Amino acid sequence: MNSFELTGRKALVTGGARGIGAATAEALAHAGASVMIGDVLEAEGKATADAIAKTGATAGFVKLDVTDEADWEAAIATTIAELGGLDVVVNNTGVAHIAPIDEFPAEEYDRVVGINIGGMYWTVRSAIKHLGEGARIINIGSINADRVPGPGLSVYAMTKGAVSSLTRGLARELGPRGITVNNVQPGPIDTDANPDEGEFAESLKQVVALGRYGHVGDVAAVVSFLAGPESGYVTGANWNVDGGFTV
């Protein structure tokens, strides 16, 4: 959890049903924000929203497939209707597929690129007309935009490099409107998709300065800071939350 003050802020967290997204939604709510979780995982998303609401915070769920144009608009409209506005957009939805470039299935390429780049772009495009001065867009990228620790990650790394570039472009474009845009790049974080045990995890720990995986709350705390008033002069930045993976 964190101590940043977000009372009165209204936030949409895509991919917020579990993992980093769920921790982020919980941290934002803990700091006082009203939160809408958007995800294709309805049962898990509703459970996360219900758990947040039981703490006394305002939280809801809306089905959101970031590859579906109708879902983008509906998710933004539902967020505004139920929360009373929109101040913070956290683009957390992302997928991965690991395979050598010459064996990478075309359908997986379309899925990874469509969600990791297209989904983020279209969600932002749907949201920006509702964002005013002081709003925050926070993208969740990956340290693989800067460092690729092994083979089979070329396509995934490409999409996260695009997230970094999109963030910088949007920061320049939306700066005159008083909207900040930043990119949080997690390194090895303990999640269901990337557990901190096993051969792969042990190999990564060898190149992390702290010698361990991070926790979802480590990422959520940085997002909470970037969502608040203290970060008003921070935009276009890539924030590595990687335990020293890149040093």
> CB within 8 A of 4, min separation 6: which ones?
31, 224, 225, 227, 228, 230
Residue 149, classed as helix, strand or coil, is: coil
Encoding tokens for residue 188? Answer: 């090895």
123 is written with which tokens? 């969600």
- From the candidates 109, 121, 156, 233, give the one annotated as an active-site residue: 156
Question: Residue 126: helix, strand or coil by DSSP?
Answer: helix
User: Which tokens belong to 18?
Assistant: 């579990």
SS3 174: helix
| Residue 144 structure tokens | 């693989």
The CA-atom distances, in angstroms, between 113 and each of 15, 95, 123, 207 are 16, 9, 14, 28
For residue 156, indicate whether it is catalytic.
Answer: yes
CA atoms within 13 A on the CB side of 85: 12
CA angle 63, 8, 82 (to 5 degrees): 30
- Supply the residues annotated as catalytic: 156
